[in-house]
């Protein structure tokens, strides 16, 4: 069975759900899901989790993202992007210095109001479904973090820039807010996701570049094994007998953990367990700090298993 993550270079014009459905059909897998919705107009990195790897989706969605965006100054739309209905236009000119100053104000921890046309839910229904019925709901501002903005090109009224940001950041809203600061409005013109956490566009495969009979083989070549995911977590390799115990509900003890050469880990840190044959067995949260192991009874629980993966025997 295929367990892992494949990075799709999402084309414009398709929903993230469309892409997942196409991957499922090509590979013949029962379970698949993406780790963060991209709007239909957006291209780029879309991680798709397959089978057991769908259990990892929650660990992957919280990572930072990097985008290449182009905004159009002087045009405001109801969707905050170029595909929406124009609600105002301005012919006013602003200087390059004014543009750079306005964008610099966006860097750091800021608050954003989710767009009316977005997947954020209200009463269990996405905002875009309310908006399509003519109900425009004003949501509470949400805190996001913009780590950096690098302006690549200013060809007024277009501004192209790279942005690294936290999860939940709306680049459409970022463009609109910059336009408001400049007093002439703005909307998102184009957007490409370059990175989603560990995953980059260099890892991505396009669904459009291959004949149908070659797509499956190409996708199979690009599947990232589960053990390679979450690369920042400390990896603990278990022998088969310990792996079997873990999959049967055993919680790692101080005695077992002391057998491994571990870096300093404090309570709350996450670790991953792999088998000697390279399968990801589980993800766990430390409940005892490593520097206190010598003070604890060996039978004391050292880590709490938070997710187990049933791919050990495959």
Write out the DSSP string of 29-89: -S-EEESS---TT-EEEEEEEEGGGGGGHHHHTTS-EEEEEEEEETEEETTSBTTS-EEEE
CB atoms within 10 A of CB 53: 28
CA distance 280 to 19: 26
The reply to whether 39 belongs to the active site is yes
Catalytic residue among 3, 9, 18, 39: 39
CA distance 110 to 168: 12
CB atoms within 10 A of CB 18: 14
Residue 282 · residue 252 · CB < 8 Å: no
Residue 169 · residue 42 · CB < 8 Å: no
Helix/strand/coil for 313: coil
Annotate 275-288 with b (16+ C-beta within 10 A) or e (fewer).
beeebbbbbbebeb
Annotate 210-238 with b (16+ C-beta within 10 A) or e (fewer).
eeeeebeebbeeebbebbebbeeebebeb
CA distance 191 to 83: 12
H/E element, 173: helix 171-182
What residues are annotated to the active site? 39
């Amino acid at each position: 069975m295929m367990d892992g993550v494949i990075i799709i270079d999402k084309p414009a014009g398709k929903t993230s759900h469309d892409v997942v459905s196409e991957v499922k059909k090509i590979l013949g897998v029962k379970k698949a899901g993406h780790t963060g919705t991209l709007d239909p107009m957006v291209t780029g990195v879309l991680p798709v989790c397959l089978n057991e790897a769908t259990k990892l989706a929650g660990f992957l969605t919280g990572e930072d993202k990097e985008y290449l965006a182009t905004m159009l100054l002087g045009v405001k739309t109801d969707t905050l992007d170029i595909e929406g209905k124009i609600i105002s236009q301005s012919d006013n000119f602003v200087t390059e210095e004014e543009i750079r100053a306005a964008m610099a104000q966006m860097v750091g921890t800021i608050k954003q109001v989710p767009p009316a046309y977005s997947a954020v839910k209200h009463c269990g229904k996405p905002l875009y479904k309310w908006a399509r019925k003519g109900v425009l709901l004003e949501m509470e501002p949400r805190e996001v973090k913009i780590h950096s903005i690098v302006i690549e090109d200013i060809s007024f009224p277009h501004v192209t820039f790279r942005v690294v940001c936290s999860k939940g950041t709306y680049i459409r809203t970022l463009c609109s807010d910059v336009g408001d600061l400049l007093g002439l409005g703005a909307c998102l013109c184009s957007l490409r996701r370059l990175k989603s956490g560990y995953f980059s566009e260099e890892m991505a495969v396009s669904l459009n570049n291959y004949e149908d009979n070659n797509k499956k083989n190409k996708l199979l070549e690009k599947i990232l094994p589960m053990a390679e995911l979450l690369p920042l977590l400390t990896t603990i390799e278990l022998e088969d007998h310990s792996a079997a115990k873990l999959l049967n509900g055993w919680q790692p003890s101080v005695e077992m953990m002391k057998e491994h050469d571990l870096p300093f880990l404090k309570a709350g840190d996450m670790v991953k367990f792999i088998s000697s044959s390279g399968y990801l067995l589980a993800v766990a949260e430390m409940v005892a700090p490593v520097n206190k192991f010598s003070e604890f009874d060996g039978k004391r629980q050292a880590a709490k298993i938070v997710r187990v993966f049933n791919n050990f025997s495959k």
